[in-house]
Amino acid sequence: MKRAFEKPGRALLSRGVAYALNRHRSKLLVFSLLLAGSYAHAQETFPVNGIADPKDRCFAFTHATIVKDAQTTLSNATLVIRDGKIIDAGPGAAIPKDAVVVDCKGKYIYPSFVDIFSSYGQADVKRTGGSWNAPPQFLSNTKGAYGWNQAIKSEVNAVDLFSTDEPKAATLREAGFGTVATQQMDGVARGTAALVTLAGDKENKVIVREKVAAGYSFDKGSSTQNYPNSQMGYIALLRQTYLDAQWYRSQPAKEGVNLSLQAWNANQQLPQIFEVKDKWDALRADKVGDEFGVQYIIKAGGNEYQRMPEIAATKATFILPLNFPGAIDVEDPNDARFVSLAEMKHWEMAPSQPAAFEKANIPFCLTAADLKDVKSFLGSVRKAIEYGLSEQKALEALTKTPASTLKVYDKVGSLEAGKLANFLITSGPVFKDNTIILQNWVQGNRYLVKQDGWNDIRGIYTVSLSPGSNITVEVKGTATAPLLAVLQKDTLPGRIDINGKLVTLSLPLVKNGRSNVRLSGLISENGWSGTGVDTSGASVRWNAAFARTAPARSDSAKKKNNVDIGQLYYPFNGYGWDKMPQQQDILIKNATVWTNEKDGKLENTDVLVRGGKIAQIGKGLSAGNARVIDGTGKHLSAGIIDEHSHIAISNGVNESSQAVTAEVRIGDVLNPDDVNIYRQLSGGVTASHLLHGSANPIGGQSQLIKLRWGQDAEGLKVTNWDPFIKFALGENVKQSNWGERNTVRFPQTRMGVEQVYVDAFTRARDYEKQATGKRRDLELDALVEILNAKRFITCHSYVQSEINMLMHVADSFRFRVNTFTHILEGYKVADKMKAHGAGAGTFADWWAYKMEVQDAIPYNAAIMHKVGVVTAINSDDAEMARRLNQEAGKIVKYGGVPEEEALKMVTLNPARLLHVDNRMGSIKVGKDADLVLWSDNPLSIYAKAEKTIVDGIVEFDRDYDLQLRQRIAAERNRLVQKLLGEKKKGTPTQKAAFTPDEMYHCEDLQAGHQEGLGITTGAGF
């Protein structure tokens, strides 16, 4: 209200200003215009200080090319607006008598763009407290009757927090936007978004709809609460909140009033927008939505083009950002070495993302979010068009699709009667390179963007001097920055300076002449005229008349080459496939076959693989159509199964915030791009049990995968598999080595660890007995599964006392501990383990890395094996997993276990521990064809995996690997040359930076643990 009265004088003044504005004052005037708008639209409830000036403003824009929507373009048409709304648009639109007529000859009119992923008018949310070394925070710090988790902010409504922000609105308007859906980008559940226009009016007037969407993300934002601190934790929190909200509908007395859940339920009617950071996140989000019957609109991360079939299968509408990666400065070859091929390829391919969505027929919107500078928006759209996006689709993605997605197409998104008068006037087709946005009208208010080009004065003119002769000049350059040349025998460069309607000309008449004809005057629709002086200094009068358009120049029709964007790899990694391999029938001939069955080791034997299974074992088998691999002098073993691995996991291996996190699932966060999948295939690994870390007594649910290089997350998973969960004991769970501040979270002792289990399983048992209608608790569900032998434990463990303890707890709750992992003091309680029925997955010879491994011995596996415990050797380490066969070889050395038994410790025994020995772990007819062809005895340091076969597919081949290296070198070189070309062209570049790999050990607490180059080293277990 205050603003409306502030400067009425200027507001009135501005309304009288002609359309051609003083270049230097235009900013100021834009500002005053919006004040004018607010005055004109003053609300009924607001008192007026002065004399009322009611107006029913009507405008008619004539002779324009009107692009009503992406499908409909009308030539020589008229747009009529009144009081902020569109009245009519078309060639025959009637012009009301009271309309101010604006001649738009040569101009284009488009609906203003709509961005449905914006935080316009929302204050940044600052994280307060909770520094990285603060003591743990278990519950939300939000005051009031809200939920337990600070990252669930479903009660937040952007409309309550919204206040207009003119500088930001101006930037967005200049980029072509008229309407945005704004939300507070904070939390896993972000509350609701409001639809607002970018008019410089009072908040009351610019809000189009209070709630148009609800927002979500995998980012807790300002929440200082510890839970969740991993991506799988985010997913678990979302799942549990869906369940809690459903339960809350029954108005459970024990919960009281929970405004977060109440709002969550109310928000479900709105379109649900989920922001993700990359392609796998997009699939993860969609999967959560599917579980609860929610179809998210997904705000993409930028690399979704790498997995279009999966992205299309989500059936989601996407919101695509256009922050394409900048060129990398690879001038220094020693720096370029540390930029991965995947990163360079992403730079090259990212602008093709919108085109890829169009091609795949996936509905999508475009957003200016994520751009460092909104000014680059239109340029980015044009880049996407250069990379294959059609102009029509681009316009649709900026108008109809976003509007329809939020169900506000009745308000914005096209130029139809009844909609808001939000439109752009441009100098030409909006996505053409030289086109400029001249004006952006929002709710009937005019905002000048670039007025200088309104009148395109380019062409050939005849200037008549009086007294004097005629001079022919050409005005060229661009509409906004014209240049002048005097056309004679020699074309002479002159000067033209336009200031609003005033023009100054300086015309040379002879080459290298001392003085020019200098003219000053006015441009009007009736021609140019004014006063001046000739070369002798004598006063003249002049006028100029348009003679003709200039002949088209060849350079102005610059032809663009088709952009070459290289080839996709699966996964998107230097070693990825350019074409996914197919399963084939294979006959391996004449090898030494380590069957792991009662036949033992068979010399000179053939193994036939058909349909991904082992079909036949024997001598002299006929190949039929099968591919024949000569195994003469080589050894064939079952594929290695790593019972304890942390490869191929995204954004955190530990949900370390609570003592019990049975609800989190490694299967939710697989990372199929991890190069360690390929590296481990080269070491003969065919399956890996991916475990949650060891930060809490009851960690998360694990996932068994096969190393199917190039498959997506679902394709990696072993299906129909008994599910497992990670438990942990000892120093990690009692946080012995986490520093002095971590003495708060229960437990701090091995005594406390026992009580965590007793408490958790007691709660689970009681929970199981509860009547129907109970609150479903995903954490307790997993524990109930354990009690009912539907889920199995693999437990990180070191010292004998704690191993003993867990078996006692299990006995008292009548379940069995399936596997103890690490289990470095297993040799001390091997008899008890055998009696309990527990198996062991251990290291061959690790010790001395922490206090609780002081009694670890390399004979551990041998003793447990001899006592009768099913014993496996595992890695917990991406490096060691590449040579688990050698680690098995150490068991021959330490304790004299026979070779065939030692090999079983990395093949059949882990299969037994994982309950998949009916299909993996040995070479037996009918089992999965997971095989490794070794150059030597597989327990030898000299043995190399030459071929690794998974389900009958040769996933690793040492010969093909040599070809891949050449492909990597060639592709790197191509991209480096291309990047150097960019730098040479003057494209801004960013410093080459090391591309990290994501790698974990089981005690890594942080998401995004990166290792490499010795920036961090050392193992933690």
Partner 1 sequence: MKRSIYLLALAFGVSSAYAQETILPARPQDKPVYLTNAVIHVGNGQVIENGTVAFAKGKITAVGAGVTAAGDATVLDMKGQHVYPGIIAPDTKLGLVEFESVRATIDAREVGEINPSIRSIISYNTDSKVINTLRSNGILLAQVTPEGGIVSGTSSVVQLDAWNWEDAAYKTDNALHFFIPRLVNTGGRGFRGPQPRDPVKEGLEKVETVRVFFREAKAYLQENKHAATNIKFEAMRRLFNREQKLFIHCELVKEMLIAIDFAKEFNMDVVIVGGADSWQITDLLKQNNIAVVLTQPHSLPLMADDDIDQPYKTAAQLQKAGVLFCLSNEGFWQQRNLGFEAGTASAFGLSREEALSAVTLNAAKILGIDKIAGSLETGKDANIAVSTGDMLDMKSSVITRAFIQGREINLDNKQHQLYEKYQQKYGIK
| Site residues (CB under 8 A) for partner 1, limited to 785-844 | 827-828, 830-831
Nearer to partner 1, 48 or 835 (CB): 835
Residue 248 host element (H or E): helix 231-248
- 85 or 893: CB nearest partner 1: 893
Kindly state whether residue 970 participates in binding partner 1, applying the rule CB under 8 A: no
Q: Which of 65, 303, 306, 340 binds partner 1 (CB under 8 A)?
A: 340
Instruction: Retrieve residue 13's tokens.
Output: 């003044």
- Answer for which of 376, 404, 529, 1006 binds partner 1 (CB under 8 A) is 1006
Closest approach of Cβ 377 to partner 1, in Å? 25
Among 474, 957, 982, 1011, binds partner 1 (CB under 8 A): 1011
Select from 462, 940, 974, 983 the one that contacts partner 1 (CB under 8 A). 940
Q: Return the number of the residue (31 or 847) whose C-beta is nearest partner 1.
A: 847
One of 583, 867, 900, 978 touching partner 1 (CB under 8 A): 867
Q: Kindly state whether residue 939 participates in binding partner 1, applying the rule CB under 8 A.
A: yes
Contact pick of 889, 910, 921, 952 for partner 1 (by CB under 8 A): 889
- Residue 900 in contact with partner 1, rule: CB under 8 A: no
Nearer to partner 1, 481 or 1013 (CB): 1013
Comparing CB distances to partner 1, the nearer of 480 and 1006 is: 1006
Contact (CB, 8 A) for 61 and 79: yes
Beta pairing class for 445-448 and 437-442 = antiparallel
Backbone phi and psi for residue 775, each to the nearest 5 degrees, phi listed first: -70, 120
Q: Does 849 bind partner 1 (CB under 8 A)?
A: yes
Q: According to CB under 8 A, which one of 33, 34, 114, 342 is a site residue for partner 1?
A: 342
- Please check whether residue 188 is in contact with residue 238, taking contact to mean a CB–CB distance below 8 angstroms: yes
Under 8 Å CB-to-CB from 2, ≥6 apart: which residues? none
Q: For residues 736-755, which are near partner 1 according to CB under 8 A?
A: 736-737
1015 binds partner 1 (CB under 8 A): yes
Smallest distance from partner 1 to CB 342, Å: 7
The verdict on 937 binding partner 1 (CB under 8 A) reads yes
Structure token digits, residue 683: 């070491």
- Show the binding pattern over residues 592-611: x = contacts partner 1 (CB under 8 A), - = does not: --------------------
Pick from 338, 577, 746, 813 the residue near partner 1 by CB under 8 A. Answer: 338
Tell me the closest approach of the beta carbon of residue 767 to partner 1, in angstroms. Answer: 37
Compare residues 133 and 526 and give the one whose CB is closer to partner 1: 133
Q: Binder to partner 1 among 136, 895, 910, 952 (CB under 8 A)?
A: 895
What is the C-alpha separation between 673 and 650, in angstroms, rounded?
10
DSSP three-state, residue 880: helix
Q: Residue 574 or residue 710: which is nearer to partner 1 going by CB?
A: 574
Residue 776 or 967: which CB sits closer to partner 1?
Answer: 967
- Angstrom distance (rounded) from CA 403 to CA 420: 12
Pairing of strands 459-466, 445-448: unpaired
- Residues whose CB is less than 8 angstroms from the CB of residue 519 and which lie 6 or more positions away in sequence, other chains included: 463, 503, 504, 505, 506, 507, 530, 531, 532, 540, 542
Structure tokens given for 92: 């025959």
Beta-carbon contacts of residue 596 (< 8 Å; ≥ 6 apart): 637, 638, 900, 903, 904, 907, 908, 921, 922, 923, 924
CB–CB of 339/993 below 8 Å? yes
Minimum CB distance to partner 1 smaller for 440 or for 886: 886
Q: Tell whether residue 973 is a contact of partner 1 (CB under 8 A).
A: no
For residues 520 and 736, which CB has a smaller minimum distance to partner 1 in the complex?
A: 736
- Residue placing its CB nearer to partner 1 in the complex, 259 or 857: 857
> If binding means CB under 8 A, how many residues of this protein chain bind partner 1?
83
Contact between 130 and partner 1 by CB under 8 A: the answer reads: no
Q: Which residues of 46-61 are buried (b: 16+ CB within 10 A; e: fewer)?
A: eeeeeeeeeeebbbbb
| CB nearer to partner 1: pick between 294 and 867 | 867
Query: Interface residues for partner 1 in 297-336 (CB under 8 A)?
Result: 334-335
* String of contacts with partner 1 for each residue 400-429, x by CB under 8 A: ------------------------------
DSSP collapsed to 3 states, 313-361: HCCCCEEEECCCCCEEECCCHHHHCCCCHHHHHHHHHHHHHHHHHHHCC
Cβ proximity to partner 1, 210 vs 997, nearer residue = 997
Q: Which position among 85, 944, 978, 983 is part of the footprint of partner 1 (CB under 8 A)? A: 944
Please report the DSSP string for 576-620 in residue order: -BSS------EEEEEEEEE-SSTT-EEEEEEEEEETTEEEEEESS
Residue from 142, 886, 909, 922 touching partner 1 (CB under 8 A): that is: 886
Identity at 553, one-letter amino acid code = R
Residue 953 β-bridge partners: 950
CA distances from 646 to 636, 792, 844, 936 (A): 27, 18, 18, 28
Name which position in 953, 992, 1000, 1002 contacts partner 1 (CB under 8 A).
992
Residue 48 interacts with partner 1 (CB under 8 A): yes or no: no
Cβ closer to partner 1: 720 or 942?
Answer: 942
Spell out the long-range contacts of 375-383 with Cβ–Cβ below 8 A and sequence spacing 24 or more: 375/171, 375/174, 375/175, 377/175, 377/176, 377/322, 378/175, 378/176, 378/430, 378/431, 378/437, 380/322, 380/323, 380/324, 380/351, 381/322, 381/431, 382/431, 382/433, 383/322, 383/324, 383/351
- Of 59 and 678, the one with the shorter C-beta distance to partner 1 is 678
Of residues 840, 916, 938, the one with CA closest to residue 595: 938
Query: Which range binds partner 1 by CB under 8 A, 527-535, 751-759, 773-781, 932-940?
Result: 932-940
Q: What one-character-per-residue DSSP string does 970-1008 give?
A: HHHHHHHHHHHHHHHHT--EEE----PEE---TT--STT
Determine if 1017 is a binding residue for partner 1 (CB under 8 A).
yes
CA 1008 to each of CA 671, 697, 877: distance values in angstroms, whole numbers, following the listed order: 12, 22, 16
Q: Which residue lies nearer to partner 1 by CB, 39 or 843?
A: 843
Mark the segment that binds partner 1 (CB under 8 A) among 117-125, 602-610, 777-785, 888-896: 888-896
Selected range binding partner 1 among 11-19, 397-405, 475-483, 939-947, rule: CB under 8 A: 939-947
Among 50, 256, 551, 1014, binds partner 1 (CB under 8 A): 1014
Q: Rounded CA gap, 667 and 235, in Å? A: 11
Map residue 787 onto helix, strand or coil: helix
Q: Can you state the angle between helices 279-291 and 231-248, rounded to 10 degrees?
A: 20
Q: Interaction with partner 1 in 430-489: which residues (CB under 8 A)?
A: none
Binding segment (CB under 8 A) for partner 1, from list 32-40, 234-242, 472-480, 873-881: 873-881
Contact stretch for partner 1 (CB under 8 A) within 169-177, 244-252, 463-471, 936-944: 936-944
Q: What is the helix, strand, coil percentage profile of the chain, to 5?
A: 30, 25, 45
List the beta bridge partners of residue 308. none
- 794 forms beta bridges with 726, 819
Mark 549-578 with x for binding to partner 1 (rule: CB under 8 A) and - for no binding: ------------------------xxx---
Structure tokens at 177: 């936007």
| 203: contact with partner 1 by CB under 8 A | no
| In the complex, minimum distance from the CB of residue 586 to partner 1, in angstroms, rounded to a whole number | 23
Q: Which residues within the stretch 664-723 sit at the binding site for partner 1 (CB under 8 A)?
A: 675-676, 678-679, 682
Please identify, using beta-carbon distances, which residue of 21 and 830 lies nearer to partner 1: 830
